[in-house]
Amino acid sequence: MKINKLKIGVLATVLLFCLLVQSIHASEMPKNITIAISPCTDVVVIYEKFHPLIAYLQEKTGYNIELAFPESYEEFEKVIHNKDIDFAFQDPDVYLKFAHRYNKDSLLMALSPKGEIVQSGVVIVRKDSNIYKIEDLVGRSVIFGPKLSSTRWINAKLLFAEKGINIDKDLSEYSNGGCCVDVAFNVHLKATDAGVVCEHFLSEHEKKQQELGVETQQIRVIARTESVPTRVFSARLDVSATLVSRVNQALLSLDNTNPAHAKILSRAEVGGFRKVNHEDYKKGCIPTDTAQTR
């Protein structure tokens, strides 16, 4: 009888220990996770674009997901430092600035809508204008993209500089706009002489633009920025490996040949996700096709 009692006591102790470990592990896993989305700063547009993807991630991972919209490097640094976000979906320049705060072993690259691994911006004007090249914009107005955009702000400024245009001195005025649809609409309405939008915007959103009254055949592309790698999805350095694995696996499982998945990806203007290395996002580096795929 003493032996049986001893066995029961040992089993009870082991069971209690297992339950305690599970309880501690569960307490470490957050009920809510937050993903920072950039560079677009229009909250309504972002929710419209990413709602299907967020709903998919919530279903696949079991977590409630919230979105954050940092509008500057200072805001990005603050939300990372304060652990207000768990993941970030951002352009290369933002990632590189805060790479030391991310888990470099779990990076995902978001392919372009056409499945490409690079992106660029284009400068657009109305066809009925007398603007045919960048140099014609001297004394004119331009709407660039958000200040966290690699293609529509950082590389766009470089493009103007290469053409000999100092945007602070040679333009009549310039501003940083929000999403591409707002910039294109302002160009169409002649509220500005030129605007910088994503390269894929004019072809991918022709139907929506027509609904807004924007006639794409009245828009002319006069220049293209230098290409950079597409956006990177990264996890904060101290986010648990289990959480990172669940979220990343859900994203990697999205398949454009699956009609339901294709709708989710199309709405988010993404062609899919693939594993990528930190080296592929180094300044001035165009990623190779050697990174692992799904």
pLDDT of residue 206: 60
pLDDT of residue 209: 56
Band (208; pLDDT cuts 50, 70, 90): low
Residues of the domain holding 148: 121-226
Task: Annotate the chain with three-state secondary structure.
Answer: CHHHHHHHHHHHHHHHHHHHHHHHHHHHCCCEEEEEECCCCCHHHHHHHHHHHHHHHHHHHCCEEEEECCCCHHHHHHHHHCCCCCEEEECHHHHHHCHHHECCCCCEEECCCCCCCEECEEEEEECCCCCCCHHHHCCCEEEECCCCCHHHHHHHHHHHHHCCCCCCCCCCEEEECCCHHHHHHHHHCCCCCEEEEECCHHHHCHHHHHHHCCCHHHEEEEEECCCEECCEEEEECCCCHHHHHHHHHHHHCCCCCCHHHHHHHHHCCCCCEEECCHHHHCCCCCCCCCCCCC
Of 187, 205, 226, which residue constitutes the final position of a domain?
226
pLDDT of residue 250: 98
pLDDT of residue 237: 95
Looking at the structure, do residues 210 and 126 belong to the same domain, yes or no?
Answer: yes
Is 9 inside any structural domain? no
- Number of structural domains, the chain? 2
Tokens 């657009």: give the residue: 124
Is 97 inside any structural domain? yes
Rounded to the nearest integer, the mean pLDDT of the chain is 85
Query: In this predicted model, what pLDDT tens digit does every residue of 100-133 receive, in sequence order?
Result: 999 999 999 999 999 999 999 999 999 999 999 9
Looking at the structure, do residues 148 and 181 belong to the same domain, yes or no?
Answer: yes
pLDDT of residue 289: 43
pLDDT of residue 179: 87
Of 203, 226, 249, which residue constitutes the final position of a domain?
226
pLDDT of residue 134: 97
Looking at the structure, do residues 79 and 207 belong to the same domain, yes or no?
Answer: no
CATH number, position 136:
3.40.190.10
Amino acid at 5: K
Query: In this predicted model, what pLDDT tens digit does every residue of 28-48 receive, in sequence order?
Result: 555 799 999 998 878 888 888
**β 173-176/141-144 pair status:** parallel
Looking at the structure, do residues 271 and 129 belong to the same domain, yes or no?
Answer: no
Is 290 inside any structural domain? no
Looking at per-residue pLDDT, the higher value among 25 and 292 belongs to 25
Looking at the structure, do residues 156 and 86 belong to the same domain, yes or no?
Answer: no
Looking at the structure, do residues 109 and 129 belong to the same domain, yes or no?
Answer: no
Record the pTM: 0.83
pLDDT of residue 128: 95
> What is the arithmetic mean of pLDDT over 227-233?
95
Query: In this predicted model, what pLDDT tens digit does every residue of 143-175 receive, in sequence order?
Result: 999 999 999 999 999 999 999 999 999 999 999
Is 157 inside any structural domain? yes
Looking at the structure, do residues 97 and 135 belong to the same domain, yes or no?
Answer: no
Is 250 inside any structural domain? yes
Q: Is the pLDDT of residue 12 over 80?
A: no
Looking at the structure, do residues 107 and 244 belong to the same domain, yes or no?
Answer: yes
Q: Which two tokens stand for residue 281?
A: 């996002």
Is 182 inside any structural domain? yes
Looking at the structure, do residues 69 and 134 belong to the same domain, yes or no?
Answer: no
What percentage of the chain carries pLDDT values higher than 70?
Answer: 81
pLDDT of residue 167: 98
pLDDT of residue 30: 57
Is 17 inside any structural domain? no
> What is the arithmetic mean of pLDDT over 176-184?
88
Nearest to 231 by CA among 102, 36, 38: 38
Is 23 inside any structural domain? no
**Residues 265, 111: Cα–Cα separation, whole Å:** 10
**Residues 280, 231: Cα–Cα separation, whole Å:** 11
Looking at per-residue pLDDT, the higher value among 17 and 68 belongs to 68
Between 9-23, 63-77, 213-227, 280-294, the lowest mean confidence (pLDDT) is in 9-23
Looking at the structure, do residues 58 and 150 belong to the same domain, yes or no?
Answer: no
Q: Is the pLDDT of residue 11 over 90?
A: no
Looking at the structure, do residues 98 and 140 belong to the same domain, yes or no?
Answer: no
> What is the arithmetic mean of pLDDT over 47-69?
94
Between 78-87, 113-122, 154-163, 211-220, the lowest mean confidence (pLDDT) is in 211-220
Looking at the structure, do residues 244 and 182 belong to the same domain, yes or no?
Answer: no
Of 226, 245, 268, which residue constitutes the final position of a domain?
226
